[in-house]
Each structure stands twice: as C-alpha cells, then as structure tokens.
Amino acid sequence: MIIQVEKPVLEVHDLTVSYHQKPVLWGVDFSLPGGVMAGIMGPNGSGKSTLLKSIMGLLSLSGGRISVFSKNLDEVRKKVSYVPQKESVDWDFPATVKDVVMMGRYGHLGLLRRPGKIDQEIVEEALEQVNMQDLRNRQLGQLSGGQQQRVFLARALAQQADLYLMDEPFVGVDAATEQILVELLNGLKQKGKTLIVVHHNLQTAPDYFDWLVLLNQRLVASAPFEQAFTAALLQETYGGRLNMLSTLAQHMKKEQFAAREHR
C-alpha cells in the first residue's frame, strides 16, 4: 500500500542506506503531501531514525535521492527543522533553556551575526507556546524529561520552518505533556506546516496522525492513515524481519560489498 501524491513536500526515491556496508534501509520510495502530520512507525531497528537522518543529509546514501519542496535540501534548509532524539545530547551541557531555544535562530543568522531583537521575540514566543517561559533561565540539567522535550520543541518552533522532522518526541514524556505537545503539533498542522514524527505507540497513533509510513528495513506502507493502519499491514510491519534481507545484509557487511556499483 504505497500511495504517491501530487505536489509532494517530501519525495524519497529508491533510497538505500547502509551502515558499514550493511544495508539498513532497502529501496524506500514514497512521497508525502503537505499539511499533514505523518507518523513513521515500525519495530526497533527498522530504520526509522535512519530515514529521518537520511532526509536531513546526516548520512551518506548508498543509492537513491531525496528532494524537499522539490529542491535539494541545501537550498531549503531554513524551511526544514530537525528534532533529534532527546538522548542524543548531554543535558549537563552548561546552557539555559533560553540558550537552547536560541539555537533555533542560528540557521537564519549565519556564522557571525548575533541574535537581534526579532530573534529574542521569536524565542520568547516559542517559549510561551511550550509553556516554558517561567523556566527560561533554568539550567538544562535541572529539567525533567518532559521539559527537555519541550525545550527541543521550542527550538524547532523558533526555526519557523515549514517541514518538521521529529525523532521520537514523545519518549520519556508524561501523558499530560504529551497532550500539550500533540496540541502544539496540531496547531502547526493547522497553519499548513508538515510534520513527520517517528512514533512507536500503536495505541495513540490513530489520534495523532493523518498519514502513516510503515517501515521495517523496507517500506511496507505509505498512505492516508486509515488505509495504512490495517491489521494486515501492521502484521507485515511488526511480524518479524524478512529473513532473506537480513541474511543478505549480514553477508554484505562481512564481505564488504557495496550496495550499489561504484561509478
């Protein structure tokens, strides 16, 4: 069940990604319409984070290509915001909540320019939206898991992007905070922004998403939520790996095969 769309915000063509010659994503090919909140779901190790990182150009691709807003990512970076997994950074870093949110403005400022009054206002606004304005001078290490996630979201808001890629934004977050975050994301969707969210809770998924990408080493489905969220497709996604793909990947790593011919 792979539904391609007209005028996509994101196009992924025949994407193959390997870690140390071992393919982790295989021939992924889909497109996403604008103005949706899309969930990327699949079991552990199915390549969800890898897909996000490939879209952001953080990994080198073995094959395929990606375009965002019909352009190369480098031309539209300012319109794209990436929220890494919370665990990927050291929260003991000497910075306050506001410092981190201000980082969202750095992409717009360039190397040498200092944040100006407008940037300050944008940051304040982002802090208010995630309800963290009272904690703006709090040190990162003193935040709870949910607050850390809100800081990351505020930083993304301060980027004022049109496409948001979020890696597990609801992990380590209490139910109340998750509700706040979801409402915020819905607000962004209402404004016509596109959100792509790596998620792993099948229970809450129907309440959040209007598009679903199912992944397990390969693309199982990419379609409007109701069409993709079927017992058969979920069984195919979560019912274990394709033995053949795993064996082949293992063999390629051991024998140092490249997934595509060198040209």
Residue number, 174 or 239, with CB nearest to other proteins: 239
Residue number, 34 or 84, with CB nearest to other proteins: 84
Applying CB under 8 A, does 109 fall inside the site for other proteins? yes
The 25-64 site mask, x for binding other proteins (CB under 8 A), equals -xx-x-----------------------x--xxx----x-
Stretch that binds other proteins, among 121-129, 200-208, 224-232, 239-247 (CB under 8 A): 239-247
Q: What span, in angstroms and rounded, lies between the C-alpha atoms of 164 and 195?
A: 5
Q: What span, in angstroms and rounded, lies between the C-alpha atoms of 56 and 51?
A: 9
Applying CB under 8 A, does 171 fall inside the site for other proteins? no
Check residue 151 and give left, alpha or beta (phi > 0: left; psi -120 to 50: alpha): alpha
* Minimum CB distance to other proteins, residue 203 (Å): 26
* Minimum CB distance to other proteins, residue 57 (Å): 7
Q: Which long-range contacts (CB under 8 A, 24 or more apart) does 185-190 make?
A: 185/37, 186/37, 188/157, 188/164, 189/35, 189/36, 189/37
Structure tokens at 207: 């309440």
∠ CA 137-142-145, rounded to 5°: 110
* Minimum CB distance to other proteins, residue 71 (Å): 14
Structure tokens at 186: 């819905």
Interface residue with other proteins among 24, 48, 82, 130 (CB under 8 A) is 82
**String of b and e for 118-143 (b: at least 16 CB within 10 Å)?**
ebeebbeebbebbebeebbeeebeeb
Residues that bind other proteins (CB under 8 A): 2, 14, 16, 26-27, 29, 53, 56-58, 63, 74, 77, 80-82, 84, 88-90, 92-96, 99-100, 103, 106-107, 109, 111-112, 139, 141, 155, 159, 218-220, 242-245, 247-248, 251-252, 254-263
